[in-house]
Chain A
Amino acid sequence: MSKPIELSEFANSTPNSPDEFPVIAGIDRERAKINSCQNQDFFLGMLALFIAEFEHVGETVRAEIDRGDLTAAKRRLHNLRGNAGNLGAMDLMSSAQSLELSIPHTLPDLNIQIEEVCSRIQALVQAASPWLSRPNEKSTISTDPIDAEKLSTLREALLQRNLLALTLYSELEATFSGHHNQESLYDLEQAIRQLRFEDAVSWLDEHATPTAQ
């Protein structure tokens, strides 16, 4: 079992220059860089999704074990450790793996391990918070017209569940920001990031029309 997160590590957890890959306590930076193909935006997007998905995983897992749904608890921890590993959160990955493998045991025995997973996640949430943008903090906004052809290609990609939609959306994001209410645009972003492509198409059909060139 690895040592608990030390407070000194948080000192390194503030954003440095914006073009540098983030230094976040609990994350093996070099591994994260390799795993995300050196793409800082992608890494931070994944990290935000990870936190949204697993921030309260301890409570959920505890409830699942409590009601005897061990399969669901194991699957959740399995996903947690896979994603933690992809993000470079290696200690969290190990803790999740230990807990996953201990699942045939019941609650009192697992409490310590659940607590360890929870504390690692909470530490990660705190360390990552300076890096994670909120919907009203879009860094780039463009008032250029929305490219009709690109919009149509994005819609087609979404309909086909073609993951090129993720790339196309990134390319259109700044222009969307210049033409749409940020709160509403947040719904589209979430739909795309969570791969709810049908919802994203509905959003486009309702809100997005190409602007004059």
Chain B
Amino acid sequence: MTYPEQKILIVDDDPMAIQSLYKILEGLGEIRFAISGQDCLDSLKKEAVDLVLLDANMPMMDGYSTCRKMKREFPDIPVMFVTASHDPSDEIQALEAGAVDFITKPLNPPVIQARVNTQLQLKQHGDKLRALTKSDPLTGIANRRYLDEQIELEWRRSMRNQSVLSLLMIDIDFFKAYNDHYGHIAGDACLRKIAETIQATVNRAGELAARYGGEEFAALLPQSSPERACEVADKICVAVRELHIPHAKSCISDTVTVSIGIAGGTPFFHSANYVMIEENSRDPGSIEELFTWADEALYKAKQTGRNRVILGHGGMPSA
């Protein structure tokens, strides 16, 4: 298994210090720079990195404040301080702010290379473990826990930006009958193929396909209109049919099919103190409501014949 080149961000207000470090670290990864604490945070919002080398002494926002803010927003990115200070109290301050290491100048290239390598390896192992906790072991796509985490994040983002988000609940039709007839090994293979198909269709940046449980899947589509959600759902239905997985016990088709319920809208604020936006009954007020609406739509898809997409409550554009 090969991994993409790891990314290192050097943060220092001094161009010379950045270049000295670059020369030492050249070849260890893709190395970028930021020239202030704020620049570092802005850069990380655009693109995550695997390691940050942070100067302690910078104007405006010093390294310690930058590190604390980073750890709140990007807790998984390790931070190493690089500083001319040899004061133990500075080192303690850095470690308390969340740093994993504290390197003093003048720089000793072999020592720095070894320390950076260690942190990059730890990050890679950590990433692998994090990936395992996020993925469903059978299908390899995101698991429910990760879906819950992501939907929280996207919900907050949609609320902040007042942008629309959509949720698809996907269920394999007559899957219990399939399992009973073909056995669990074939059932697992079927789940894997369906998961792969859903993931291949839900492919825009920020979109997420997840196994929700049993034979049920979910797709989270941030910044997606009901029209786009319907389009994706239709594609999934077609793609699953085109897998031509035989299903002798299905009452509606010779092959495996799925039913999909869609819910979506722009999250609105519930607050006793503010009336930020006039409540629109077609927009969801909570994540639970979004799930409920998607489930209701899925139920309707099942009730009305399966192998179809139903755009549910919250799916219609606001008046």
Chain A residues with CB under 8 Å of chain B are 31, 34-37, 39, 42, 45-46, 49-50, 53, 72, 75, 78-79, 81-83, 85-86, 88, 90, 93, 97, 160-164, 166-167, 193-195
Contacts and interface: CB of A to CB of B under 8 A. Distances in A.
B14 interface: yes
B77 interface: no
Nearest to A80: B84
B132 to A, nearest CB: 30
Interface string B61-91: 0000000000000000000000111000000
A26 to B, nearest CB: 14
- Select the residue from B18, B20, B107, B109 with max chain A CB neighbours within 10 A: B20
B30 A83 contact: no
30 contacts: A34-B108, A34-B109, A35-B20, A35-B107, A36-B20, A37-B24, A75-B59, A78-B85, A79-B13, A79-B57, A81-B84, A82-B83, A83-B16, A85-B84, A85-B106, A85-B107, A86-B20, A86-B105, A86-B106, A90-B106, A162-B30, A162-B31, A163-B19, A163-B33, A164-B31, A193-B15, A193-B19, A195-B15, A195-B18, A195-B33
B258 interface: no
Given A161-B32, A162-B32, 10 more contacts: A46-B19, A49-B16, A50-B16, A72-B59, A78-B85, A79-B14, A83-B14, A83-B17, A161-B43, A163-B22
B45 interface: no
A75 B57 contact: yes
Interface in B1-19: 10, 13-19
A46 B16 contact: yes
B34 interface: yes
Contacts of B151: none
A86 B107 contact: yes
B26 interface: yes
Given A49-B16, A82-B17, A161 B33 contact: yes
Contacts of B10: 163
Contact of B16 (A53, A78, A160, A167): A53
Contacts of B107: 35, 85-86
A72 B107 CA distance: 23
A31 B32 contact: no
Grouping DSSP codes into helix (H, G, I), strand (E, B) and loop, the A interface class, with mixed when no group exceeds half, is: helix
Contacts, number: 93
A121 B249 CA distance: 87
Nearest to A83: B16
Nearest to B26: A167
Contacts of B34: 161
A28 to B, nearest CB: 10
B20 to A, nearest CB: 5
Interface residues of B, number: 30
A94 to B, nearest CB: 11
Given A83-B16, A163-B22, A163-B31, A31 B109 contact: no
Nearest to B58: A75
B252 to A, nearest CB: 51
- Select the residue from B15, B16, B84, B107 with max chain A CB neighbours within 10 A: B16
Interface string B26-58: 100011111100000001000000000000010
A195 B19 contact: yes
A39 to B, nearest CB: 7
Interface in B120-135: none
B35 A195 contact: yes
A167 B85 CA distance: 29
B204 interface: no
Contacts of A35: 20, 106-109
A86 B31 contact: no
A40 to B, nearest CB: 12
A35 B24 CA distance: 8
A79 B84 CA distance: 8
Nearest to B24: A37
Contacts of B16: 46, 49-50, 53, 79, 83, 86
A43 B67 CA distance: 30
Contacts of B59: 72, 75
Given A75-B57, A86-B107, A195-B15, A36 B23 contact: yes
A171 to B, nearest CB: 13
Contacts of A75: 57, 59
Contacts of A194: 15
A93 B106 contact: yes
B15 A85 contact: no
Given A31-B106, A42-B23, A163 B18 contact: yes
B10 to A, nearest CB: 7
